[in-house]
Each structure stands twice: as C-alpha cells, then as structure tokens.
Chain A
Amino acid sequence: MKRMPLYLALGALLCVLPLVCNAYWLDVCVMIGLYALLALSLNVILGQAGIFHMGHAAFFAVGAYVTAILNTLCQWPIFCTMPLAGAAAALFALLVARPIIHLRGDYLLIVTIGIVEIVRIALINDIFGLTGGSNGIFGISRPRLFGFRIVKSAHFYYLVWGMVGASLLLFYGLWRSRFGRALNCIKEDDIAAEGCGVNVTRYKLLAFVLGAFWAGMAGTVYAAKMTTIAPESFNFMESVIIFAVVILSGGSQLGVLVSAFLFIGLPEVLREFSNARMLIFGLAMMIMMIWRPQGLLPPGPRHYAGPSDGLPPAAPRAGNQATEAGRSA
C-alpha cells in the first residue's frame, strides 16, 4: 500500500479533469479509461497468470455487439444489456478457451490472434444476420442511470472512470487472495503449481472468463459511447494495443493506468505530426521497452498481516535451529 498516495493523487486529478479539459480531450480520456478497463482485465490473464493472450479485442467485440443487438433490435436499455454482454463474452471465452487452454506460450498467442480474426470476419460476413456486415450496427441509444441520461463526454468520463475505480478495487482484492497467488504460481511454473495442489486448468479458465466478462462490459460502454459499432473497431491492432499496454505496465494496476495514458494519449499528442504520428508511436514503443524492459511499475510484494510478528529477530540461522524446530513441533 505504499502506492496509496499515488492512487489518491491520481484519483483527485481524474475527478477534476472534466473541469479543465475541453470536450475533445475529455473524449480522449474516455477512451483511455476504456482501454484501462480492457487492460486491467487483460492484466489478470496476461500479467498475473502469464497466459499469452493477444485476442482480447474478440471479447470486447462480443460485448459491444450483444449490447448493440439487444438495444437496437429488442430496445433493451443499455445498462440492462451490460451483465448480459459480460456474460456472453465470458461464455464465449469459456467455449473457445476450453480446448486450447493447455497450449503453451506462442502457440496460444497465435490461436488467440486467430480468434480475433475469426470473430472479425464473422462480423463482417453478417453472421446470424444480426451484425450488419461491414457497416456494423448504428442507432444504439444512450444509457440511462436512474433516470439520468448519459450523453455528454463528461458523463461518459465519470461512468468509465467510475468503472475503472471499481475494477481497481476488485482486482486488487483478487491479487491479494489465494486466487491471485494461484495465478502467479501458474505464471512462474505451472507444473509446480499443479504439483502443489492448484487446479491449473480451472484457474487459467477462470482468469479467461473473468477477463472476458470485463471486456464484454467495456464493450457495452463503448457501444453506448459510439452509438455505432463496426467490425473494424475490433481488429488485431486493437488487441495489440491492449496487449502492449499490459506489457509496458509491468503488471501492476497503477502501471496499467500510466501505460494506458501513454499508449492512448500519445497518438493524440502526436496529432500535430499528422502522418508521421504512428511512425513516432512505433518508435516510442521500442524505446519504452528498451528503456524499461521490466515494464513501468512491476507489482510490489504482497503484505501479510503479522507474519513476522512474534518472531526472533532475523539472526543468522544456527546449524541446529531446524532440529529444534523439528523437535518442538
């Protein structure tokens, strides 16, 4: 919790930002929040469990399309579609991940890329006659929260960053529990994890399902913000960006936030370079990784209440200390 002051400062800054930002930058911040949401959920899969997953855009797409279809075809209010969008993405993740979850590293990487491509192509080809082909779906309505209509950028800003805040807390809880430890063990050495009693397949799948649920909910917000969605918004490049945000972050949640600001904010800052901005962006990606190969902010150690209380001071271990401990037990 050494980073608590940093979080508070960041939180305060984010709260007052809409007062000083114009609509354009506020929209950028909404996108940053959205990517932070996606990256936080991918961080559970990629950062904590170490599963090479480069297909998060697929789950994002499923969520966005479920919301769009339910809203435009069945006139469901946006927020009612959110749990369903999350659940659909989670179910999709479960179905596709189950047969491939045992694949190792790079094999899983290409398969998850393949899933993004398959989803995108399916959407373009108007699968089930519901997705509107390459034009996508338009006319998605604005969400309403207790009668309050969320329309303006500032509204979406608080909605998205509120969700980011809630996610931070929940994922922090997860990280500090047996669940988070199990994922870390799998990342370090999955055979040892299985060998000391962790159901590796189950935890990997749970990480996938949880991450996909979040990505699906992020999809709902995206659909509501854009009011129009199309397959090209969920291509491989989106997955790459989310992936890169997580790797650059180093794996901590604060790192993810900073990294999201860099990745989504930088191209906007570079707008004045017009055509060259993506060139500089690519260069920046290389430089940032070379500058900090371990990522911006690797997660700190977990703290446990009182494990070192009531212990002898850390003296050099005497030869027969173990023996005494053995006898007293």
Chain B
Amino acid sequence: MNLLALQEITKVFGGLIAVNDLSFAVEAGSIVGLIGPNGAGKTTVFNCITGNYTPERGRIFFDGEPITGLKPHRVVELGIARTFQSIRLFGRLSVLENTLAGRHCRMKAGLFACMLHTPGQRREEKAAVARCMEELRFVGLADRCNEAAGGLSYGNQRLLEIARALASDPRLLILDEPAGGMNDQETADLVEIIRAIRQRGITVLLIEHDMRLVMQICEKLVVLEHGALIAEGAPEAMRRHPAVIEAYLGAEDEKW
C-alpha cells in the first residue's frame, strides 16, 4: 500500500522549472531515498509535500487523501513530520521545549485552560513532557533536555530535529539531509536510529548525499535530475542505471 503518492507534480519559480511533472510513490513501512545532483529539486519536492510550497500542477496523496495545497501545520496534523536541511531549531528554547513544540499539534488545551492551568491541561502537559523525554531518550539527548538547543553540536541538532518531528506522532517522516555535517560515528548512529524509526512503523522518506548511508538503509531510490524523475528502483539497480551514472558524472563528492 502506498502511504504517499505524488502525481505529475510541477513547481515553477519565476521562469525556472524546479520540479517537472514528477510522479512517485512511497510504500508504507519502507525507507525511500530521494537523490540527485545538487539543484535537482529534491528539497523543493519535500516542500511541496509538507505544504511549504503549493505546486503549480499535480496532486499529492497521503494515505489516499489529497493534501496538495494544505498549510504545513495541517500536513503535520495529518501525520507527516519533517526536518530541515538548514537546521531550524528554536535556538533559545531548551532541548525539551523544542521537542514539546513538535508535540504541540497533539495537545488540545485551549487559551483559557492554558491561562488557568486546569487539571486537564496539567495532565496533558505532564503526558506531553513524558512523551517528549521518551523521544529524547530515543535519539540519545535526554540528559541534555534543559540545555538551550542552539548550544548543541551540529550532529546533535540534527538528532533533536528528528526527536521534534517524532513527537508529533508522524506516520511519514521526511528527513532532509539528516547526516549533513555529521562525522562517521554520528552517521553510523543515525543509521541505527532511522532503522529503529522504521521498526516503530513509521515510513521514512529522506534526501541524503552520503551514498553509503543511502545504500545501507534505503529499499528504494528515486533519482531526480533537473526536477524530473530519471529513474527509480532498488539501490543496487540504481547504481548500475545508465541515466543515473550519467547524471552523477563529474559530481566527484558523491561517489557511489
């Protein structure tokens, strides 16, 4: 069953076609990699899925429901959570509070309950803190929960973004270069975390330039060039696909 399906998505900026008539699907429970040379439009595709951009043409379905053009917070409520390529944490809030921000959309306390701290609000708050601590433990940041997020190392900031996304109970997790700026050890840990996420029943769609990581964990790759799909399939097949090899020629930093 497909959890996510893109149908003929086109996104244009000014005169530039960033994504061109793109269709692909993500099967529930899988880990799918979206790859391609720099400027291929990968992040634009993500932004179309998460509602940050509205595509000019085409439709996006999540679990069979159309989500094209929904506002980003609605998309999160439906069960798609994301991380950002250029880390976007709330730097002056604590690590725990950043995770609680992800939990926000699953909480219900209204304005008056918040002002008056009603018993229901207190219960909900307590449960949210407990849940977020669990997510922090999951990524290994629990002992730093009271630190300011801006003070974490690059790799830990990426993990915190993942924890924040997980706190919103996603069914699909979208990771934009999760290993960017990580050293080898951190990347190895990340691979384990992504696998554990899938074991929790969460589908993962990721953009990554670290081909070792991609080959290690993805069951399927979708390859973009100039905003258009050039190939999709199993990683091993993609490695030998002529169009893919062509697209990557000269991209020295992305050795297979």
**Contact (Cβ within 8 A) B115 A195:** no
Tell me, rounded to whole Å, the shortest Cβ–Cβ distance linking B113 to chain A. 8
Interface segment, A176-184, A224-232, A257-265, A269-277? A176-184
Given A181-B104, A188-B90, the answer on whether A302 and B97 have CB atoms closer than 8 Å is yes
- Knowing A315-B143, A320-B189, A322-B159 are in contact, say whether A197-B90 is a contact too (CB < 8 A): no
Binding site for B on A (CB under 8 A): 170-171, 173-174, 176-182, 184-185, 188-189, 191-200, 206, 210, 301-302, 304-308, 311-315, 317, 319-323, 325-327, 329
The contact size tier of chain B is 35 or more
Q: Are A305 and B102 in contact (CB under 8 A)?
A: no
Give the contacting residue for B125; candidates A178, A191, A192, A194; CB below 8 A: A178
Contacts of B113 in A (CB 8 A): 177
- Using a CB–CB distance below 8 Å, which chain B residues touch chain A? 50, 52, 71-73, 76-77, 81-82, 84, 88-94, 96-97, 100-102, 104-105, 107, 109, 111, 113-117, 121, 125-126, 128-129, 133-134, 137-140, 142-146, 159, 164-165, 168, 185, 188-190, 192-193, 195-196, 199-200
B193 touches A322 (CB 8 A): yes
- Bound Cα distance from A182 to B107, whole angstroms: 12
Residues on B with C-beta less than 8 A from A325 are 137-140
- Complex Cα–Cα for A323 and B199 (A): 13
Residue of B52, B73, B100 touching A181 (CB-CB under 8 A): B100
Contact B192 A322 (CB under 8 A): yes
Determine the chain B residues whose CB is within 8 A of the CB of A311 once the complex forms.
142-143
CB B240 to nearest CB in A, in angstroms, measures 31
Tell me, in angstroms, the Cα distance from A270 to B195 when the chains sit together.
Answer: 68
Q: Choose among B50, B94, B137 the residue that contacts A301 (Cβ–Cβ < 8 A).
A: B94
Provide 19 A-B residue pairs closer than 8 Å at the C-beta atoms, listed in order of the A residue: A173-B116, A177-B109, A178-B109, A179-B115, A180-B114, A185-B104, A192-B84, A194-B73, A196-B105, A199-B73, A206-B111, A302-B94, A317-B143, A322-B189, A323-B193, A325-B137, A326-B138, A326-B196, A327-B196
Instruction: Please judge, given known A-B contacts A196-B76, A325-B140, A326-B192, whether A181 and B129 are in contact too, CB under 8 Å.
Output: no
Write out the residue numbers on chain A whose beta carbons fall within 8 Å of the beta carbon of B190: 322
Choose one: A170, A185, A327; the contact of B115 (CB below 8 Å). A170
**Are A308 and B145 in contact, CB atoms less than 8 angstroms apart?**
yes
Give the residue of B102, B137, B140, B143 whose beta carbon is less than 8 angstroms from that of A197: B102
